[in-house]
Amino acid sequence: MKMKLKYREKMSTESEEIGSRSPSEKCTLFVCTSCRPTGFPREPKEDRPGFLLHQKISEALEGSDLEDSVNVEAAKCLSLCPRPCGVALTSGETWTYLFGDQDPATSVASILECVSIYLKCDDGEMPRSVRPPGLRESILGRLPPLIKNVGDL
């Protein structure tokens, strides 16, 4: 059975529309702080690209419109070693997204744009076509929302 996605608010760059979740809902962006390319030194950990990505995202959020809508959490390891740097985006009973290949020098704006889009999507379902270009090709997977009640089946 096919289900049609329903969106309510138009995106300025796409023909698809995005729904709008409650402004009180927050999401969490996990950033793998141990991520580093093969051969990159383990120490000092503050030099690891994953650590730097977490730091740059946290700094970019300070004073931004998203500051109160997203929690940035350091993740010790997301097990994405072949595809560093990794981030995961999740919120309550919504879709969860996992991305790799993020660069602390170039990916922060795209990641925050993706977070903004995600917050507007009904159930967190974020079609590929509305994701920023840098996060279309780097997706490693997505997980459906957890079922709240058996009656929801």
pTM of the model: 0.81
**Is pLDDT above 70 for 152?**
no
Question: Residue 31 in 3-state DSSP?
Answer: strand
Q: 115: which 2 tokens?
A: 């977070």
Higher pLDDT, 3 or 33: 33
Helices and strands, counts by H and E, the chain:
2, 7
Position 20 confidence tier, pLDDT thresholds 50, 70, 90: low
Q: Residue 63 carries which DSSP code? A: T
Report the share of the chain in percent with pLDDT over 90.
Answer: 73
In the chain, where are the structural domains located?
A: 25-144
Residue with the larger pLDDT of the pair 150 and 36: 36
Please name the residue ranges forming H helices in 1-153.
49-61, 108-120
Q: What are the backbone angles phi and psi of residue 13, rounded to the nearest 5°?
A: -105, -5
Q: What is the mean pLDDT of residues 117-142?
A: 93
CB atoms within 10 A of CB 84: 22
25-144 fold: Glutaredoxin (3.40.30)
How far is C-alpha 38 from the chain's CA centre?
Answer: 23
Place 115 in a pLDDT band, splitting at 50, 70 and 90.
Answer: very high
Around 75, how many Cα atoms within 13 Å sit in the side-chain half-sphere?
A: 20
Residue type, 74: A
Beta carbons within 10 angstroms of residue 113's beta carbon: 17
For residue 151, what pLDDT is reported? Answer: 55
Mean pLDDT on 80-92: 95
Whether the pLDDT of residue 14 is over 50: the answer is no
